[in-house]
A = this chain, B = another copy of it.
Amino acid sequence: MFTLGNFLTLSTFGESHGEAYGGIINNFPAGLEINFEEIQKQLDRRKPGQSSIVTQRKESDTVKFLSGIFDGKSTGTPIGFIVPNENQKSKDYDHISQYYRPSHADFTYDKKFGIRDYRGGGKSSARETLNWVIAGSLAKQLLPKGIKINAYVSSVGDIFCEKPYQDLDFSKIESNDVRCPDMETAEKMISRIKEIKKEGNTIGGTITCVLQNVPIGIGEPVFGKLQAELAKGMMNINAAKGFEYGSGFCGAKMTGAEHNDIFNEDGSTKTNLSGGIQGGISNGMDIYFRVAFKPIATLLRPQDSIDKEGNKVIVEGKGRHDPCVLPRAVPIVENLAAYILADLFLINKLRQL
């Protein structure tokens, strides 16, 4: 209950200004040589302070594995890990202990639990996602080597990467600060984010993720469809407002004659509006989906709000905040997708006698 994954389960803990984040992965198979550098590399892609268009907080975000690995290999027993928190400036949050920030979780946490760790958003902070990056990066190492999972920023505000993913060179994703592989669009996005930042404002956008060379058969018929598991995972990311795969919302405007993917003789399909999934199960074609992110709620300028007693107050973000969540969300989407895939991949191994 409230873990990520069905068989390969991840439990997590941690608050923004608590002692540490961390998690436990259960049912990870034994005998895998762990690539620790790769995990740290993925964490580094998510961490604050990496470029001028993200928050300038400095945290080393170093993962420490505490169990389940011996002599560099997984032992088949629970893998525990932590990431100690550093450099919290809890003072920056004293002023909000009695305030509710607009479009934040302050109000709902207080009402639900009657208590809340308000420092840095506490449990509602997106810092939780570093647990998912660690677990996802580890889980990815379980998957067949050929599988490729690439996410990129496909829009920032009204600036869209118009090219279909097939025309993009994924090796360029890391070559710019915004993580859009179309260099021209990337530049526009970066300018837009810088403008927005200057205004103390924030901006939304979308991420597209493509999973290639996924074996046929991943996903479960009912209540475990691959797209549903992906949707659930992605919609748990802070600020996510929408999910679509394959033809998505565009597909809703089409007719069956336009939308059906006709087979080639080898079982592949001529088109791929289905997005690589039929009946909840991967069909061997590329899986692709898109996630919408709203603009971050913390603005570095004054906004009207209320305090716990319902009195009017003015709130203004202090501290170090992202003007746009998208660049740092790319590794989150990618590694989360890897985790979900690995979970269903293991389960699928038991589907035939």
Would you give the 0/1 interface string for A241-278, flagging 1 where the beta carbon is closer than 8 Å to chain B?
11111111101111111111111111101000111011
Nearest residue (CB) in B for A157 is B253
Q: Is the CB of B1 within 8 A of A310?
A: no
Known: A80-B22, A112-B76, A243-B242. A3 touches B204 (CB 8 A): no
A87 at the interface (CB under 8 A from B): no
Known: A263-B305, A278-B104. A2 touches B202 (CB 8 A): no
What CA separation (Å) do A66 and B107 show in the bound complex? 24
A163 at the interface (CB under 8 A from B): no
A45 at the interface (CB under 8 A from B): no
What CA separation (Å) do A75 and B122 show in the bound complex? 10
**Which of A46-54, A164-172, A174-182, A215-223 is the contact stretch?**
A215-223
Nearest residue (CB) in B for A32 is B353
Q: Closest approach, in angstroms, between the C-beta of A321 and any C-beta of chain B?
A: 10
Q: Closest approach, in angstroms, between the C-beta of A148 and any C-beta of chain B?
A: 20
On chain B, the residues within 8 Å of A114 by CB distance are: 30-31, 352
What is the copy number of this chain in the assembly? 4
Known: A157-B253, A241-B252, A259-B295. A222 touches B103 (CB 8 A): no
Known: A241-B252, A253-B158. A115 touches B235 (CB 8 A): no
Q: Is the CB of B7 within 8 A of A222?
A: no
Q: Is the CB of B295 within 8 A of A78?
A: no
A236 at the interface (CB under 8 A from B): yes
A209 at the interface (CB under 8 A from B): no
**Which of A8-16, A36-44, A183-191 is the contact stretch?**
A8-16
Q: Closest approach, in angstroms, between the C-beta of A169 and any C-beta of chain B?
A: 24
Known: A123-B222, A253-B158, A294-B247. A76 touches B204 (CB 8 A): no
A124 at the interface (CB under 8 A from B): yes
On chain B, the residues within 8 Å of A350 by CB distance are: 7, 27, 29, 346, 349-350
- Give the interface centre of A3, A219, A303 by most chain B CB atoms within 10 Å: A3
Chain A interface size band reads 35 or more
Q: Closest approach, in angstroms, between the C-beta of A209 and any C-beta of chain B?
A: 14
On chain B, the residues within 8 Å of A264 by CB distance are: 306
Nearest residue (CB) in B for A30 is B113
Known: A108-B216, A243-B235, A249-B206. A2 touches B70 (CB 8 A): no
Known: A155-B252, A242-B252, A245-B242. A235 touches B224 (CB 8 A): no
On chain B, the residues within 8 Å of A158 by CB distance are: 253
- Give the interface centre of A1, A64, A107 by most chain B CB atoms within 10 Å: A1
Nearest residue (CB) in B for A1 is B6
Query: Which of B30, B222, B269 is close to A115, meaning CB atoms less than 8 Å apart?
Result: B30
Known: A68-B13, A281-B112. A204 touches B77 (CB 8 A): no
A292 at the interface (CB under 8 A from B): yes
On chain B, the residues within 8 Å of A58 by CB distance are: none
Q: Is the CB of A241 within 8 A of B249?
A: yes
Known: A11-B11, A349-B350. A76 touches B241 (CB 8 A): no
On chain B, the residues within 8 Å of A22 by CB distance are: 22, 24, 66, 80
Q: Closest approach, in angstroms, between the C-beta of A158 and any C-beta of chain B?
A: 5
Q: Is the CB of A19 within 8 A of B255?
A: no
A-B residue pairs in contact (CB < 8 Å), sample of 7:
A3-B11, A11-B24, A13-B24, A15-B68, A22-B80, A232-B235, A242-B243
